[in-house]
Structure 1
Amino acid sequence: MKKVLIITYYWPPAGGPGVQRWLKFANNLPNFDIKPYVLTPKKPNYAIIDRSLENEISSKINVISCPIFEISDFLPFKNYFNSLRTGNISQISDQSFFEKILFFLRGNLFIPDLKIFWRKKSFQFLKKFLQKNHIDTIITTGPPHSVHLIGLDIKREFDINWIADFRDPWIMLNSNMKFHFLSKTRSKHLKFRNMVLQNANKVIVTSEKLKNYYDKLTGNVVKITNGYERINIKYDLDKNFTITHVGSLYPDRNPEILWEVLENMCV
């Protein structure tokens, strides 16, 4: 049986869309004769909590944890940073002077993200773990993309098979615009991203658009979209008309035209 180690920041009791992808993948890996291990942070600062997801973790998954230094716990105005992760923040044009300063400091001091302080602790932890346990493949999933830098460190130390899963793009995220990156900050992001793309044995993306973009940077990209489980759908849908949006509706993704169409249909 092959053994895979998944390194992820988001794991139950974390809620929101970020945790779903690899929770479901990890649950299904034993069906393909793959034994999953999952490394998560110990006592992380999750913006969204959904304890019901803890009941979905398969008993066949070995979950291990490593301490994380959550810098956001020691920063003033922590709620602003949690609001960013839930999409509940002001648009750039509506940001106050205070908000602009706050996000400028966040974006240009902590690269690639606030979870960068988990990198060293995880690397030291995994060095000991991998010396005692045979693992065939490691998988890193981001955001936060600092998780991929843990994979990069492990790849360099052990030359192990490494898969980097991009649930979202690294530098092209709409939310990054709110950080007011300096040119040198942007260059550092691109350097980190390219190091990951060039050293990972395989890169997974979630959309055709992102695959086409990353194909220009590396030749080892595959697309695996997010899915769903039919057994979890317990709602009686309207027989005549149902709209489903699978994802998050952030303030900067307000589909105003859709609302107008629905209003006209209801008249």
Structure 2
Amino acid sequence: MTVTPRATIRDAKCILVVGATAGIGRALALAIHDLPSRPTVIAAGRRQERLDELAQTGDRVKTARVDLTSGRAALKQFVDEMLATYPDLDAVVLSSGIQHIFDFKQPEQKFDLDLFEDEYTTNYVATVTLIKFFLPHFLKLSEQGRPSFLMPITSGLGIVPGPWVPTYSATKAALHSLALSLNHQLKDTKVQVMEIMPPLTESELHDHQGMTPKLSKFWLPLDEFTEQTMAGLCRGDVQVCPGDTQDKWDKFEKGKIELMAVNRT
């Protein structure tokens, strides 16, 4: 990438991974735990049995339960508890996400507003809420000369939408735009924004859709995604683009961060 922050994931001492009970989040939590810098990793998610399993994978893996649909007050309590228990926490990976297929040609049968609200809340509103609650702590670290890291996981579908998952694509586009703005607003601090933009990747995300057998012929294997993503995080890439997301970035996103630096409209 063309823009590199002042620190990399190797500099983090205590890393919270929200959405670590499956798929991308789980894989990144375990890969981060294995870094030579030996950080503490807090795996957070909704499914207690998955958290219990993760707690057995390493002596520096801690766990915490969180439900991103539980509301603002509960999320504030979660953040306060994390910072009280882990005052050295200096990085957050925001991996939680859900995805539903909606068909606007059949709005009464195939567009469920309850599912839409859950998707919008989980993928965007709760993620922004957590960022807001963690930022005062990270800015204090910055004042002390310490780097910290916000790592939202967006999607290649935030660049080129998948019309079969229109609201998922929209939430990821919104989060992608927010990550660009955060990167610009925080550029004079030591708070590093490192956006992870997966392509279609091996995951449980699609199981409830009944599309896993079809998609498994095309997706990026999880181990390849993890290897490419960790390489980007260790380089300090502002935008980490594994697989074919790199092609989309090259075509539609290249130069955007630089353009924002001079954009006043």
Fold match (TM-score > 0.5)? no
Structure number with the bigger relative contact order (C-alpha 8 A, sep ≥ 6) is 2
TM-score of the superposition, structure 1-length normalised?
0.44
TM value normalised by structure 2: 0.44
